[in-house]
Amino acid sequence: MHYRDHAPPHFHATYGDYDITVDIETGVADGRFTRRALVAVLEWFEQHQDELRENWERAQREEMLENIEPTE
């Protein structure tokens, strides 16, 4: 997640040479990822959607983001 990033609320994920953005409201991913990595990120997203929304709001206000438990 980047400070003062453009709407809609989203986060970025990187796996090796692959990058995606995931819409926090819909879970729609844009970009290229391996199938296994995409499944893991989307499962993590479902578990942490509320925390991601809160961090998006913090980022827009340029406040420190809260840590979110990483995916395994």
- 22-59 pLDDT per residue, tens: 999 999 999 999 999 999 999 999 999 999 999 999 99
Reply yes or no on whether the pLDDT at 72 is more than 90.
Answer: no
Q: Are 65 and 52 in contact (CB under 8 A)?
A: no
Q: Are 9 and 53 in contact (CB under 8 A)?
A: yes
Q: Are 19 and 12 in contact (CB under 8 A)?
A: yes
- Between CA 20 and CA 27 the distance in angstroms is 11
- The whole-number pLDDT of residue 4 equals 82
The residues near 65 (Cβ < 8 Å, ≥ 6 apart) are 1, 55, 58, 59
- The whole-number pLDDT of residue 23 equals 98
- The whole-number pLDDT of residue 49 equals 97
